[in-house]
Amino acid sequence: MDDKILRTTRELIDEVGYPALTVDQIAARAGVGKAAIYRRYASKAEMAFAATMYEEQLPPLVGTGSLHGDLLALVRAFHVRMATPAARQLAPALISEIAVNPGLDKRFQDTFLAAEQSLFAEIIERAVARGELTRAVDPAMAHLLVLGCLASALYIVNLPVDDAMVTDLATAAAAGITALADRHHSDPDAAAEPR
């Protein structure tokens, strides 16, 4: 049933656009009750986000052997998802809805963002194990440096993000993460516990 709901949501976003999308339309086309939808998703925005950004599992981590390479592989995978026309329609609506709905904000933090940050935690752990980083840094900060910048470029500044920009973003993020690890290593008081 979950796949059917998400597939129908994607089809309708492509046909009518996110603003005109309704839960009634999705329920009717998917052949499910609205209650079944609301048991899974707190809002239309959350369901559409899941359908457009998380239609499959999160991208698998590619072990490239370097912090920069791992970040670049991850940001390229997210760029493909985040740059779709549906995601560009949806992201501003979701941000707006999260701003006024504390329950949705917590749910978004506990599901989507937590899953994304776990990918960054693994990348950081690998870099520490290889000796590229002197110590771990907060995965939330790494997430912000990479995907926060990508989201800003795509959804707020509306830049034409190409692979050269994605590569530069990964390079800048790797340098920033390395600098944070070095700073926290040399000044333990600067290293607050990860949030």
Which residues have CB under 8 Å from 176's CB, separation 6+? 145
| Residue 16, token pair as written in the block | 């009518």
What pLDDT is attached to residue 73? Answer: 95
Distance of alpha carbon 140 from its chain centroid, rounded? 11
Residue 152, classed as helix, strand or coil, is helix
What pLDDT is attached to residue 195? Answer: 44
Which residues have CB under 8 Å from 132's CB, separation 6+? 66, 67, 178
- Alpha-carbon distance 100 to 75, whole Å? 29
What 57-60 contacts at long range (C-beta under 8 Å, 24+ apart), as own/partner pairs, is 58/115, 58/116, 58/119, 59/119
What pLDDT is attached to residue 161? Answer: 95
- Alpha-carbon distance 79 to 53, whole Å? 10
Q: Which domains does the chain have, with CATH numbers?
A: 1-40 (1.10.10.60), 49-190 (1.10.357.10)
What pLDDT is attached to residue 190? Answer: 53
Are 172 and 164 spatial neighbours (Cβ–Cβ below 8 Å)? no
What pLDDT is attached to residue 14? Answer: 85
| Residue 108, token pair as written in the block | 């978004």
Block residue for tokens 């999705």: 26
Q: What parts of the chain have a pLDDT lower than 70?
A: 54-57, 185-195
| Residue 19, token pair as written in the block | 């603003």
pTM across the whole model: 0.79
